[in-house]
Amino acid sequence: MEGHRPPHLVVMVLYDRVQTLDVSGPLDVFTVANDGGARYRLLTASPGGRPVRTLAGLRVAPDAALEDLTGRIGTLIVPGRPDWQAAVRDTRLVAQIARLAPHARRVASVCAGAFPLAATGLLDGHRVATHWKLSRALAETFPCLKVDRDSIYVRDGRVVTSAGVTAGIDLALALVEEDWGPEVARAAARHLIVFMARSGEQSQLSVRLNLDAREPLMRRVLDTVTADPGGDHSRAAMAARAGVSVRHLTRLFRTELGMTAAQFVEQTRVEAATELLQSGDDTLCVVARRVGFGSEETMRRAFRRELGVAPSAYRARFHTRHHRPERLSS
């Protein structure tokens, strides 16, 4: 059923001193979402086609000049630079965004990208989001916008604006979900998270999942699982607690989360296990039991499915207690 759709053209606008992550985050998400296929075609373009230097000093050679782009665009993305005044004053940049936006099915901005986008006048009367530190400045500079200070992501018609540290990634994931459904978006998110494999803090996995549970009933079900991964979370048990049939619960998981009940429970348990493996000294068997796996072997299989590594390898890599300073050379 896939592959018959022509690729969705994503145009990333580049200009000097943009926030690198605003650019690379969405591009990485779309690339991962492609999964080797051709769902998205990515194109970077700058004023005059000149190479740009991001805020971090990364030099990027764009694919094209904004001025040369013609025809329809799927999604036009405008990243931001923290000193937004310069972007707003860049009349050439603003003019090109204004020219291209009507040809785009969707127009999106990341973080401070809302400023040059607003300078085109296209956002007037629309609800928009931006980084909370910048929301006042945005509202004062462009009084016709309805600045939403609380949301990290706002969709108003075909205009999408986003804020927050990982805004670009969240934004792109939301667009992927819109285009290809929750399953594809979820897979991409998981891929990126595994790729970034961060230790400590609360895992991004559950944060994302909980955020996405709109249905109150569903949220309660998910909370029960994450609060006590080791409990009985068979489908029958969850359905009974939620007061719905097993069939309906199954359906809710698919429509609300884009994954099955068992997948969710497994992910949650793997995630809980990674916490214990990182900071505790319990044996693998104890960890397995504690987070609800029937045996060490079951946990091993789940780790392989979810993370592609064995629990022992995970611990070897991320264990932090009794950590000796690493030698840089031998």
Backbone angles phi, psi at 229, to 5 degrees: -60, -25
- Under rule CB under 7 A, residue 262 binds DNA: yes
- Under rule CB under 7 A, residue 286 binds DNA: no
- Under rule CB under 7 A, residue 241 binds DNA: no
Measured from the CB of residue 26, what is the shortest distance to DNA in angstroms? 28
Closest C-alpha among 190, 208, 260, 168 to residue 33: 190
- Could you list the beta-strand ranges (E) of 30-95: 40-46, 52-53, 59-60, 64-65, 73-78
- Under rule CB under 7 A, residue 293 binds DNA: yes
Give the count of beta carbons closer than 10 Å to the beta carbon of residue 31. 17
- Under rule CB under 7 A, residue 2 binds DNA: no
- Under rule CB under 7 A, residue 34 binds DNA: no
Measured from the CB of residue 253, what is the shortest distance to DNA in angstroms? 7
281-287 contact pairs (CB < 8 A, 24+): 281/321, 284/311, 284/312, 284/315, 287/311
3 or 294: CB nearest DNA: 294
What tokens appear for 210 in the block? 């909980």
Measured from the CB of residue 230, what is the shortest distance to DNA in angstroms? 13
- Under rule CB under 7 A, residue 312 binds DNA: no
- Under rule CB under 7 A, residue 266 binds DNA: yes
Q: Which one among 17, 53, 191, 254 touches DNA, defined by CB under 7 A?
A: 254
Q: Determine the Cα–Cα distance for residues 247 and 16; give it in Å rounded to an integer.
A: 54
Among the residue ranges 48-56, 64-72, 76-84, 262-270, the one whose residues contact DNA (CB under 7 A): 262-270
> For residues 111 and 163, is the Cβ–Cβ distance under 8 A?
yes
- Under rule CB under 7 A, residue 310 binds DNA: no
Residue recorded with tokens 């022992």: 312
Among the residue ranges 88-96, 126-134, 261-269, 279-287, the one whose residues contact DNA (CB under 7 A): 261-269
189 or 225: CB nearest DNA: 225
User: Restricting to residues 108-167, which ones interact with DNA according to CB under 7 A?
Assistant: none
Q: Determine the Cα–Cα distance for residues 179 and 173; give it in Å rounded to an integer.
A: 10
- Under rule CB under 7 A, residue 85 binds DNA: no
What tokens appear for 79 in the block? 């990243």
- Under rule CB under 7 A, residue 304 binds DNA: no
Parallel, antiparallel, or unpaired for β 64-65 and 127-128? Answer: unpaired
Q: Which residues bind DNA (CB under 7 A)?
A: 234-236, 244-248, 250-251, 253-254, 260-263, 266, 293-295, 297-298, 301-302, 305
